[in-house]
Each structure stands twice: as C-alpha cells, then as structure tokens.
Chain A
Amino acid sequence: MRVYLEFAKKSFQNSIVYRMDYFAGVINAIVMILVNIYIWKAIYEEEAAIEGVQFKIIVTYIIISFLMQMVYMMDEYFIENKVRSGLISMDMLKPIHFRWYVFSYNIGTVVFRLLLQFTPAIIVSIFLFNLLGPFSVLYFSYFLLSAVLGYLVLYNLNFIVWISSFWFYWTFSLVTIKDAAVMILSGAMIPLWFMPEWLVDFIKLTPFDAIFYIPIRVYLGMVPEQEILSALFRQVMWIFILFLIGQLLWKAATKKLVVQGG
C-alpha cells in the first residue's frame, strides 16, 4: 500500500510544478461563479423565488457546484498519452497494479487542489458572494461523505472513458461528449429541479445526478433526513457498477495489449 501513498505524494509534487495552471484554475472557478450568479440574477429579477427556491439558495448552489468541479478536475488524457506513446508498457513492466497507480495519482491531484486551490477560492466566495453555510453540522458531515462518493462516481465514469483509448487512441471527442453530459445531467450548471420531469426521470436512471446534484442538495438541506441514506446508497451503487464496468474494460485492454502489442 505504501507505494500508492508515494505515488499520490509524487503526483502532488508534480502538480506544484505547474504554477500557472494552478492560478488559472482558481481564477477560472471564480469567474465561472461570477458569470453564473449574474445569469441567475437576471432570471430572478422580478421574482423572489422560482419553483420555491430563493435567489440566495441558487447562489450557494452555484458556488458549491463550481468549487466541487474545480476540485474534481482530472487529467483526462493521462492514460491516453501513455497508450499513444507506448509508455503504458513501461508501467506494465513494474510490479504494481496499474488501476491503483492511476487512482493514487488522481488522489494526489485532489489533495493538491483542496489545499492550494479550494482554500483561496472558498475564502473569496464567502466574502464576495455571500456563500450560505451548510444546513446543519450533521448535514455538513453527510455532505462531506456524499462529496467523496460523488468524486468516486465521477472518477469511475472517467476511467471508463479513459480506458477506451486502448481501442480509439484519440479520445478527445469522447471526453468532450462525456463532459457535456456531466455538465448538463449532473446538475452542475442548472439545478435539476428546473428540468422537465421526463428528463429528470431519465437522469434518475443514470449515474450523473450522483456526482454533483446529490451532494449539493445535501449541503443545502434539501434532502429529508429519512432519504439521505438511500441517496448515499444510490451513489455507492453507481460507484460499484461503474467500477465493475471499468474492471471488465481494463481486463480486455490488457488482453488487447499483450495480444496485439497495443
């Protein structure tokens, strides 16, 4: 296990190297929050509440959503680059589990983003945008758990897209489609309660709302206490399903690599 901790540490160190990227990430999140707040301000101009939701709730929703998106940002081409350059065989020649290696690499990045990007961004958000505090201490701990699960849902979904590079070599369009789907269907941009009912019914059959929508609603106290466990369970279920699909694809990918030579 120690080696994966070391991978995470090295990935953290690696992130520090790109200082420009780090500043850009913070500024990007703050600008996106600002733009979205103004859009919602225009929508709310005449009304005190839409669908029973006040403006300040929407502002908090947007802030939490974009801060989460910033922290959850992953290197989408990590595996693709290895496949295309052939470096994947260097990793296969090491006595390590590749899946765990990729995961620990991403964990290192998350810790980096939490410490160095999230912290300044949340301070700005509290003072500049009047971010509302969590619904209660209990709900805040549920939120933390749900946010971790949301990350794992997104990670396992991403892994499926990444691993497809063994067959497609270029995954740019696939990643773009996935990003768009996540953006719209997970409630990252627009809360799902504004969506038509048929679309919400469809989304309920997909893993997307388990990424952002569930944790943010927990933060806002919109999920009744008796439903929280089932919401968390939904997230766990999707992690499990997506992980299994990823595992099957990974097995097929290694088989392709050793038979076809990549």
Chain B
Amino acid sequence: MAFIEVHDLVKEYKVNIRNKGLIGSIKSLLIPEYTMKSAVDGINFTIEEGETVGFIGPNGAGKSTTVKMLTGILVPTSGSITIGGLSPYKDRKLNTAKLGVVFGQRSQLWWDLPVIDTFDLLKYIYKIPENIHKSNIEHFSEILGLDEFIKQPVRQLSLGQRMRAEIAASLLHNPEIIFFDEPTIGLDVVAKEKIREFVKFINKERNTTMLFTTHDMVDIEKTCDRMIIIDHGKKIYDGTVEEIKDTYGGNRILSVEFGQNYENILMSGLELIEEKGNKKHFKFAKDDFQVSYLIQKLSQQYEILDITVQEPEIDGIIREIYQGGIKLNESLSGVC
C-alpha cells in the first residue's frame, strides 16, 4: 500500500448565486439561491514515501481544494484518502502531528514576537523533545541563515527572511509529509533558489514526502520528481516534467546577431519569428536539424556577430496545455 492513496476524490461546493442589479441583490438577500459546483471531480493518485510531487493547474482548477482535503481541513463529498493508513479528516488531530504546512500567503509565525518565540511555542504544540528541537533549530539556522534575524519580531522581517523562518517552523517536528502552497510567491530569484535548495536537501536527508502547489514551473522543475496537472477538477497529466518537455518542447529558438542587416534570409529548417534590426530570432525543430549544421550553414553565407540557442520553456508549454493549444498525446505514459 502506498503512503498516500487517493480514490475517486470528489468535492462539491454549494455556491450562492447573486442576481445582478439592486433588485437582484435584495432578492438574493431574502431568498438565497444555490447551485452545486464541483471543484474536484474524481481524482485518483498514489504517492510513495519520500516522493516530491508538484500539483499544477490554472487558478480555480481544484489544486487547493485537493490539498485542503489531503491535510484534513476539508471533507470530501465522496471518495477516499488515506495517508499512512489514516484518514486525514477523521483522524485530524492524530494526522496533524505528522504533517507540516507552508503557505506562501499565510503565516504561522506570531507577528509581533521574535521568530525564536514561535519556534519555542512549536516545541510545546508538537511536544518535540528538547534535544531534537535544539538540533533542528541549529541545523536549519546554519543552512537557511536564520541567525541574523531569529531574534527580530516577524513583522520586521523581509518576505524572504519570513519564508525561510516559515519553512524552518514547519519542519521543526520532523513531519513525515509537508505541503507547500506557493512557497516562493513574491520572492526574489536568490531567495527562491535558497528555498528550493533547502527543500531538496531536506527531502534527501530525511526522506520526507513533499507536495507542492505552485504556479512557478521552475519550482517544479528543480524540486519535484513528478508533476500532476489538474484542470477543471480532473487530473490530466501525472508524470515527469522531462517527458512533457521532451515531447512538446521539440522546438528551439536560435537568436542570431548579424554583422549587417540582411533581408530575406532563407534557409531550410529555419523559420523567422521575430526581427529587430540586425538581430533575428528563428525557430527550428531540434529533431530535424542539428544546431551545428545550421550555424555552419549560416556562417558560410552571412557575417555573424553573436549566436545563442534557447531551450524550450516549460512555462510556455504549460500555458499551451492550459489554453488547449496542446492536446496531451495518448502515447505519453503520464496522460490520464
């Protein structure tokens, strides 16, 4: 039996319908009308211990609802969830002791008190043995550089510092599973990188199961072995990031800066997509043409100052999938 098992998970919400206009508002106030909207519509998956899984999907796709049900603060309309043999909502108290949560937009730190005070409180909340608590704080301080601000009130911290403190706080009790909900939202590149590295390190070191929801594909690429795409409450993909990239990221962009402004550069395999004076961008299929061949051909005919090749961006591919531009191919192992 897998560590996390989810079967036919369904969640329906009662949604209040408001009529438009003044009369409509008053009518809605007196006679409320409701419809049922399904946020999650029959999702299945299993996750093994120590796996890192990223949930992605457009806003309103049902990711957060799924995660909320996994943490036990939301009861499914139907279907079942077990985490380590327990039901997250029926055994909520028991379950919460084993899990950690990091919400990018919600803080669990005491706003007016120094970070260390919240750490202290968590020791009592989770009944963490003194020696583990102490060694964890030392360990995390070292890697995340908490020392410089651990004695400052949380409200005075920068967002990057606060997130580092949040993540340390949610790991103090050595949880078996951690939920990250947009952990890097609003952070600068350096802070993002620091957090990703730390998360990866903890996963390796402690074999902690980790679940992410994020809109940042770099988060997923760098930290997750596996990606689950959810859209309209249904799972549409469950597999590796690489597979999607290899299948749909077949095009490369070749950017060339020419010595002079050539008109109508024609070469088989290269498709002009953008030009700015001497600088031109071409698209080519990497499986049909070798880069070295294209460069050689170009340099024989034209004077070239600079040349760069761009990788496919996973962001672009995912955007295409959301917008329906890419229909996931049945032959992919992860397609549902």
Q: Which A residues form the contact surface with B (CB < 8 A)?
A: 2-3, 6-7, 10, 13-14, 17-18, 85-87, 89-90, 92-96, 257-261
Contacts and interface: CB of A to CB of B under 8 A. Distances in A.
A258 B75 CA distance: 5
B117 A92 contact: no
A261 B89 contact: no
B124 A6 contact: yes
Query: SS class of chain A's interface: helix, strand, loop or mixed?
Result: helix
B101 interface: yes
Interface string B69-85: 00111110000000000
11 contacts: A3-B121, A3-B125, A6-B121, A10-B117, A17-B112, A86-B106, A90-B108, A92-B73, A95-B126, A258-B89, A260-B13
B73 A257 contact: yes
Contact of A93 (B71, B107, B120, B124): B71
A18 B74 CA distance: 36
Nearest to B77: A259
B68 interface: yes
A13 B121 CA distance: 12
Interface centre among A7, A94, A260 (most CB of B within 10 A): A94
Contact of A17 (B71, B89, B153): B153
Contacts of A94: 96, 125
B113 interface: yes
Contact of A2 (B93, B112, B124): B124
Given A14-B110, A261-B74, A93 B121 contact: no
Given A90-B101, A258-B89, A261-B68, A95 B96 contact: yes
Interface of B: 13-14, 65, 68, 71-75, 89, 92-94, 96-97, 99, 101, 103, 106-108, 110, 112-113, 117, 120-121, 124-127, 153
A2 B130 CA distance: 14
Contact of A89 (B14, B68, B112): B68
Given A3-B121, A14-B110, A93-B96, 9 more contacts: A3-B124, A13-B117, A14-B112, A89-B73, A90-B107, A92-B92, A93-B72, A95-B94, A95-B96
B88 to A, nearest CB: 10
Pick the 8 closest A-B CB pairs, nearest first: A3-B124, A17-B112, A6-B124, A95-B97, A258-B75, A95-B96, A89-B73, A90-B108
Contacts of A6: 120-121, 124
Contacts of B108: 90
Contacts of A90: 101, 103, 106-108
B112 A93 contact: no
A216 B226 CA distance: 67
Contacts of A7: 121
Contact of A87 (B99, B106, B124, B127): B106
Given A14-B110, A14-B112, A95-B126, A261 B99 contact: no
Nearest to B124: A3
